[in-house]
Structure 1
């Protein structure tokens, strides 16, 4: 390296030899100098020492360590919401306190089923429809799925029936408020997108000795995500008639898939471990209706709004505007793999 200076030339040819260094001089530095090290007594250094250290979080890998129950929706979790699937999975983790986790999930089952059976919901909170909505659907319909082959009558357009106002997930009450109004159960109507559908869990409650299936949906909207709704269903019996509300609700849940936009009517709110969750109520109060879906073929169900959700109009009512916002949020932030099993490759070739 050659550096030209005024009337001088300096050649840098490497470090000096040890024999040419003078280690006895008093001019050698004994302490570091700025900017490599600040004076510990300076105000700037003292201020930096008083600041707390950065708090880091662990980033999960894209590989699912729990098998088919994909947890890729965990990035949407909210600490204020309770998801029972997490507690159920914790009982299967080898390094988790087995006794505590198992007792907690059993307590949740008893608590949730008690809310389902003995919740006090005023009839006026359930059956009085919003004055701005009129229903052309049958009272017994638990879900409505329409295909593009269906022909709607232009003279009598379908209007979505909602028993009360719609709620955003960010506006749900806190666990403290829900506990303060017990034994009354607050209900909400929400239009949300499906993030995950956990497989049914066969449960025999300790107090009622009843065998039931518990299905949990994890949903979100454009305001918040990670809200879980638990549905208590009677076990499927092939020989039994499927005309009551519980059977229709079970078929509705079985037909859902991630990224569907749905309407949940009369969802009961409850708390567990000071976190909020939703659940179904008895006598068919809680219903599920598919509003919009990304079709896989022309025969696939597209939902109540069919193609109307994609084209905005000045005459759109509040439910369709909400459904459109949820759909747009899911298209931007929710991938196809959310809540679904990872694709499996082909088996190895055999001779």
Structure 2
């Protein structure tokens, strides 16, 4: 794009001005009026009865809980980071050490060295063990549609800590100010896209790992990237029980699923905020709701309970949040193609590589 240069050379020449205009001002105006004429000028406006054309509207004052201003710096919203932005930056810069590799090194350092309070984690694990419906979405732990209809599951979802909206996540400057501590959140979100696993060899530890990125959103904001670190699929000996369970959970997810992300670590890279898993199996994924394709499909924790509305549901905050996310998904997140290559409500951008070529249908 061509650059335009503007030279400011001072006041215009007198010959270029129209001095015969009858509308030229003879009396001083604000803010150039003197102190002697300000009061007289204001009084004449009031007496003339002319309506005021400009006014300053002050925002309403609202009461916020203690610590609100620690997380929110005025109207500033955090900028979310996804890896496709870094890939585009790499294509433009063509550096020897790519920005994407730099990001993976940064994310893995946070994964391995983050300082997090472990208070309440034992309670969370014991709660999950006592409620089979809260186990990660595993074929052995989560039933099919037919099985769920034959068993009454608890309606209340036990979560250690509050559920946070994406619009209320802290800014990158706040996350940098508390380093090396890592802030963790619980999120109820809908899946927009699931990127295939990437095999990564960390530069410092020389460790071979897989990283999976989930692009999620809720009724407030979209485009939040969550990176899940997993042992490489070939390194069976390095897999722990928690890592294996998380890997199987992610393998069964698909777009438009509503999930609960427990204990997601927040970090920032180049002044953009993203989420990621934490070491020790602290980060967990629970399927809350999905539209089943048949009677054998996994339905999630809430099954058909999102359609029923009882008075006691108003006090169930996770249920209300899941309902709002479901309404947003139905309206704004396109469905996958129908069986047999039928028409889809997804746009070309949303479909991406998911649609098969014409010669294979």
Q: TM-score, normalised by structure 2?
A: 0.67
User: Highest relative contact order (Cα 8 Å, sep 6+), 1 or 2?
Assistant: 1
Question: 1:1-351 maps to which residues of 2 (within 5 A)?
Answer: 80-88=79-87, 90-91=89-90, 93=91, 96-99=92-95, 102-124=97-119, 126-128=121-123, 136-137=130-131, 141-143=135-137, 145-151=142-148, 153-154=151-152, 157=154, 159-237=156-234, 244-316=241-313, 317-336=316-335, 337=346, 338=350, 341-347=353-359
User: Is the 8 Å Cα contact of residues 225 and 274 (structure 2) preserved in structure 1?
Assistant: yes
CA distance in 2, matches of 1:42, 1:284: 79
SS for the counterpart of 1:199 is coil
Following superposition, the deviation at residue 103 of structure 1 comes to: 2.9
Shift of 1:211: 0.3
The 1:241–1:119 alpha-carbon spacing in structure 2 relative to 1, beyond 3 Å, is closer
Q: Deviations over 1:4-61 (max 9, x none)?
A: xxxxxxxxxxxxxxxxxxxxxxxxxxxxxxxxxxxxx999xxxxxxxxxxxxxxxxxx
Following TM superposition, by how much is the alpha carbon of 1:138 offset from its aligned partner in structure 2, in angstroms?
5.8
Verify the 8 A CA contact 1:195 1:339 in the aligned structure 2.
Answer: no
The alpha-carbon distance between structure 1 residues 331 and 157, as it changes in their structure 2 partners (threshold 3 A), is same
**Partners of 2:222 and 2:181 in 1: how far apart?**
25
Radius of gyration: which is bigger?
A: 1
SS state at 1:183 partner: coil
- Quote the Cα distance in structure 2 between the aligned partners of 1:122 and 1:348: 52
Does the C-alpha gap of structure 1 residues 241 and 308 become closer, same or farther in structure 2, counting only changes over 3 Å?
Answer: farther
**What is the rounded CA distance, in whole Å, between the counterparts of 1:146 and 1:343 in structure 2?**
29
Distance in 2, matches of 1:125 and 1:269, equals: 18
Kept after mapping to 2: 8 A contact 1:291/1:305? yes
Go from structure 1 to structure 2 and tell me whether the alpha carbon gap of 1:203 and 1:275 turns closer, same or farther (over 3 Å shift). Answer: same
**Any idea what SS the aligned residue of 1:259 has?**
coil
Alpha-carbon distance between aligned partners in 1 of 2:353 and 2:22, rounded to the nearest angstrom: 57
Q: Which runs of 4+ in 1 moved over 6 A?
A: none
Q: What secondary structure, in the 3-state scheme, does the structure 2 residue paired with 1:308 have?
A: coil
> How far is 1:294 from its partner?
1.2
Would the alpha carbon gap of residues 242 and 184 (structure 1) be closer, same or farther in structure 2, given more than 3 Å must change? closer
Closer/same/farther in 2, CA of residues 134 and 103 from structure 1, 3 Å limit? closer
CA distance in 2, matches of 1:215, 1:167: 22
Q: Are 2:135 and 2:142, in contact at CA under 8 Å, matched by a contact in 1?
A: no
Closer, same or farther: CA 147–42 of 1 in aligned 2, 3 Å: farther
Aligned position for 2:63: none
Partner of 1:99: helix, strand, or coil? coil
Q: Distance in 2 between matches of 1:229 and 1:305?
A: 23
Q: Aligned partners of 2:321 and 2:175: how far apart in 1? A: 25
Output one character per residue of 1:103-139: Cα deviation in whole Å (capped at 9) or x when no partner. Answer: 321211111001101111111164455xxx9973269
* Distance change (3 Å), C-alpha of 1:42 and 1:205: farther
For normalisation by structure 1, the TM-score amounts to 0.69
- Shift of the alpha carbon at 1:270? 0.2
Indicate if the aligned counterparts of 1:185 and 1:268 stay in contact, CA closer than 8 A. yes
Q: Report if the CA contact (8 A) 2:256-2:329 is conserved.
A: yes
Three-state SS of the structure 2 residue aligned to 1:296 is coil
Q: Is the 8 A contact 1:128 1:164 kept in 2?
A: no
